[in-house]
Amino acid sequence: MSTGKLVQANGRLYKRSDRPVVVVCVDGSEPDYMEVAMKAGRMPWLKSLLDSGVNTNRIAESVVPSFTNPNNLSIVSGCPPRYHGICGNYFYNQETGEEELMNAPSYYRAKTIFSSYQDAGAKVAVVTAKDKLRLLLGHGLDYSQGNAICFSAEKSDLANMADNGIENVNDFVGMPVPSVYSADLSEFVFAAGVKLLQTVRPEIMYLSTTDFIQHKYAPEEEGALAFYEMMDKYWAQLDELGAVLTLTADHGMNPKHDADGKPNVLYLQDLFDEWYGKAEARVILPITDPYVVHHGALGSFATAYLPKGQSVDEAIKRLSEVDGVELAISGPAGCAMLELPEDRMGDIIIISERHLALGTSEERHDLSALDRPLRTHGGITEQKVPFISNRPMSGIPSDMRLRNFDAFYCSVNYAE
Amino acid sequence: MSTGKLVQANGRLYKRSDRPVVVVCVDGSEPDYMEVAMKAGRMPWLKSLLDSGVNTNRIAESVVPSFTNPNNLSIVSGCPPRYHGICGNYFYNQETGEEELMNAPSYYRAKTIFSSYQDAGAKVAVVTAKDKLRLLLGHGLDYSQGNAICFSAEKSDLANMADNGIENVNDFVGMPVPSVYSADLSEFVFAAGVKLLQTVRPEIMYLSTTDFIQHKYAPEEEGALAFYEMMDKYWAQLDELGAVLTLTADHGMNPKHDADGKPNVLYLQDLFDEWYGKAEARVILPITDPYVVHHGALGSFATAYLPKGQSVDEAIKRLSEVDGVELAISGPAGCAMLELPEDRMGDIIIISERHLALGTSEERHDLSALDRPLRTHGGITEQKVPFISNRPMSGIPSDMRLRNFDAFYCSVNYAE
């Protein structure tokens, strides 16, 4: 049902259309993955799209910290974390004095594009791989109206009408519940997306995978090639079903290990302890979450709270001289630059270089579960992501800095 | 009452204190005004403060469009218009197809610092010169709790407990209702501020003047000097009463006329009519409001909606070649750069140079009421404003881009 009306979400206007719009977020999809898989002949649909010359094949920039939650929430909000509040998995709550996981919907401060479309009477659907994102992405959806669906592959067997707007998902998709550490978890998302497009045909749909594969495998490894080959088949189906299909990612991915495969880590808490005394400063790694098997809670982004009375300027000066620190910036300046909420960032924001990860104290990171050389993300060096659509979008102004969170905006407003 | 707790407003944290904090917004106070008045010996309190060496005398940047409402709302929100929605006095509502005044509280999308402090149990007070700002600035205040006051000098005789949290204001201040086009309108604001500090002693207070004088007089003219002399006397009293006092402005002010005193105007609607045909494009001047006597609705900021199908890139290219255009940028890029809400800006944002104003069609501007050579604002050239406090704020990180809307943030978090 196209009303010709506009939907407003977070200060932007979105057109409505009879053509369903599907945005795919391929978690951790450093642009190389698709390039290499296409060259290897493993992504025939994508290759043919890009060869046809009518497509749009762009590079966009993700939110920094280039982590999963800040970017997924930005994509479904059409705006950066400063507006919606989700700037990591983990933060130090200055109001309570506690370190907290930021995974409950109450941490989210905006209104999603989905919720706004639902208010306008549109059918909407969201499918995620991991359940940790589901509640946040479904913020504000009203399942009692029968036009909103939001569930995860991980907990697909628990989906029900009251909490997800759908039930018997495994029968519907024709797949059992996949393991949380598997490529199947992401495949389930696409299989569900195809089914939903064939049946419910939502006006806007979001499909979000997990980066288990990208953390494990470099682009040229078979584990990665097979994964991209799998996705290509589903994208061809979504395209065939008439959707405007836009592919982007939450962040890139880089090796952060030395030649021996040992993680390359700057332990910031240890550094601050040396400078200010044991536990006087507090280092927070916003990548921290209960799923640490594939990255050991190591990423390229950290924030720190200094001991009372210590100069931020001084600390920035010292940090800037540390090898491997790409950026050390004050909380207010970093939040303005990266569009982050100041109340959830510390006195200083620290970003490391391409091949270096940031840790707290060496003793606090259990790296025994890392079965492969560390590949991770979080920094500016993982900000470049694909932004590919099956429709041309020639109306995008050329002075616009394309962001991954423009995926819905561009798909509904500019896709031809 | 100091609780030691933090107040959260729009993603920033604000400390509480026993010391009252007063932020003064001197409408249209191009930095020259204070400099010239001090040199002329007309601002002894300010001069002595700046000479003492313990003060903070900085220059901050306002929001662009450098207009009154976007900046006043940014100052009381601690964030730019992209978050709170108020990006001008006037806009084109794409959802309704109507041009509208943006003066009702329903256009505001955030929660003010005042409302957040009130929720935390603090006493708050807001006094504005013109009534047009009062409802917006008072957004979310609950006058029934007896700890919030918000009124205008212009309608001081109508102030009542239910709508303003105060009554009998003219008796309280000891001044009759001033004329809306007068220096007295602003003097009333300060007289009220001093009385409030002596009696109610609000934890945070905002005093906002009108730029009637600055539109009329250049810094060296007696009309301006007398105005700054008047303000200096009141600031001395606020300081004497123990307040942390921070002085800033909503925007600067520049002459925009030729040597003969004739307004120097680029009429954009006429230009677009020539390019695209009569009334095919739509030019919006966000300065437009019912009070046009002192600027004739002429400022240095405009936005335009192009006819359907016309290329934004092409229009930007043509505009950039027009003499006096400082910046022509697409709506999405301009809104990202200037932190404005996209749904209230057009396809293109146009900003003119220091001595040029932008108009719609020449026939639509009645300049007969301009009794002095045009002085106005709206552009990047009016973005520099004073940021002066009576307390040092040495903790402000040196990499922070200081904005006028950091006035409360810096006053409560960094004032020593």
For B324-371, the pLDDT digits (tens) are 999 999 999 999 999 999 999 999 999 999 999 999 999 888 888 788
Q: What does the pLDDT read at residue A56?
A: 79
* For residue A129, pLDDT beyond 60: yes
Say what the alpha-carbon torsion angle B46, B47, B52, B58 is, to the nearest 10 degrees: 70
Q: Do B6 and A94 touch (CB under 8 A)?
A: yes
Q: What does the pLDDT read at residue B4?
A: 60
For A10, A68, A73, A251, the CA distances from A63, given in Å and listed in that order, are 16, 10, 10, 8
Of residues B82, B311, B332, nearest to A400 (C-beta): B332
**Residue A276: Cβ within 10 Å count:** 14
Between CA B75 and CA B73 the distance in angstroms is 5
Amino acid in the structure at residue B239: D
**Shortest Cα–Cα distance, A82 to chain B (Å):** 7
Of residues B13, B330, B401, nearest to A336 (C-beta): B401
Between CA A127 and CA A194 the distance in angstroms is 11
Q: What does the pLDDT read at residue A4?
A: 59
Q: How many residue pairs bridge chain A and chain B with CB atoms within 8 Å of each other?
A: 87
**Of the candidates A344, A305, A328, A368, which has an alpha carbon nearest to the alpha carbon of residue A69?**
A344
Q: Do A397 and B330 touch (CB under 8 A)?
A: yes
**Shortest Cα–Cα distance, B140 to chain A (Å):** 17
Structure tokens at A311: 């100069």
**Shortest Cα–Cα distance, B104 to chain A (Å):** 17
Mean pLDDT of chain A: 95
Q: What does the pLDDT read at residue A75?
A: 98
Domain positions in chain B: 6-253+378-413, 265-376
Question: Can you tell me which residue has the tokens 């098997």?
Answer: A293
Chain A residues touching residue B5 (CB < 8 angstroms): 95
Between CA B281 and CA B269 the distance in angstroms is 7
Structure tokens at A364: 């606090």
Of residues B8, B312, B341, nearest to A95 (C-beta): B8
pLDDT digits (tens, 9 = 90+) for A62-114: 999 999 999 999 999 999 999 999 999 999 999 999 999 998 999 999 999 99
Chain B residues touching residue A313 (CB < 8 angstroms): 397-399
Q: Which residue of A has its CA nearest to B335?
A: A400
Domain A265-376 CATH superfamily: Domain 2, Phosphonoacetate Hydrolase (3.30.1360.110)
**Shortest Cα–Cα distance, B174 to chain A (Å):** 42
Structure tokens at A232: 């290509």
Q: Do A333 and B399 touch (CB under 8 A)?
A: yes
Chain B residues touching residue A406 (CB < 8 angstroms): 332
Q: Do B398 and A83 touch (CB under 8 A)?
A: no
Q: Which residue of A has its CA nearest to B9?
A: A343
Q: Do A343 and B12 touch (CB under 8 A)?
A: yes
Question: Could you tell me what percent of chain A has a pLDDT over 70?
Answer: 98
Q: What does the pLDDT read at residue B68?
A: 95
Q: What does the pLDDT read at residue B2?
A: 36
Secondary structure, 3-state, B158-202: HCCHHHHCCCCHHHHHCCCCCCCCCCHHHHHHHHHHHHHHHCCCC
Report yes or no: A108 and A73 within 8 Å, Cβ to Cβ: yes
For chain B, the straight-line distance linking the first and the last C-alpha, in angstroms and rounded, comes to: 18
pLDDT digits (tens, 9 = 90+) for B263-298: 999 999 999 999 999 999 999 999 988 766 567 789
Q: Do A399 and B336 touch (CB under 8 A)?
A: no
Between CA B195 and CA B173 the distance in angstroms is 7
Residues in chain B with pLDDT values less than 70: 1-4, 55, 291-294
Identify the CATH assignment for A6-253+378-413 out of 1.10.10.10, 3.40.50.2000, 2.40.30.10, 3.40.720.10.
3.40.720.10
Matching fold, domains B6-253+378-413 and B265-376:
no
Q: What does the pLDDT read at residue B1?
A: 31
CB contact set of A9 (below 8 Å; sequence gap of 6+) = A77, A78, A111, A112, A113, A115, A116, A117
**Shortest Cα–Cα distance, B25 to chain A (Å):** 22
Q: Do A85 and B11 touch (CB under 8 A)?
A: yes
Q: Do A398 and B313 touch (CB under 8 A)?
A: yes
Q: What does the pLDDT read at residue B292?
A: 61
Phi (first) and psi of residue A285, to 5 degrees: -110, 105
Pairing between β-strand A204-208 and β-strand A124-128 as defined by DSSP bridges: parallel
Q: Do A330 and B11 touch (CB under 8 A)?
A: no
Structure tokens at B365: 């501007």
* For residue A291, pLDDT beyond 70: no
**Shortest Cα–Cα distance, B2 to chain A (Å):** 15
Q: Do B8 and A333 touch (CB under 8 A)?
A: no
Q: Do B342 and A109 touch (CB under 8 A)?
A: no
Chain A residues touching residue B330 (CB < 8 angstroms): 397, 399-400
**Of the candidates A137, A397, A373, which has an alpha carbon nearest to the alpha carbon of residue B306?**
A397
**Shortest Cα–Cα distance, B34 to chain A (Å):** 28
Report yes or no: B90 and B69 within 8 Å, Cβ to Cβ: no
Q: What does the pLDDT read at residue B289?
A: 80
* For residue A33, pLDDT beyond 70: yes
Q: Which residue of B has its CA nearest to A312?
A: B397
Chain B residues touching residue A82 (CB < 8 angstroms): 11, 83
Question: Can you tell me which residue has the tokens 């950091």?
Answer: B406
Of residues B333, B344, B399, nearest to A400 (C-beta): B333
Of residues B11, B333, B343, nearest to A82 (C-beta): B11
Between CA B85 and CA B107 the distance in angstroms is 7
Chain A residues touching residue B315 (CB < 8 angstroms): none
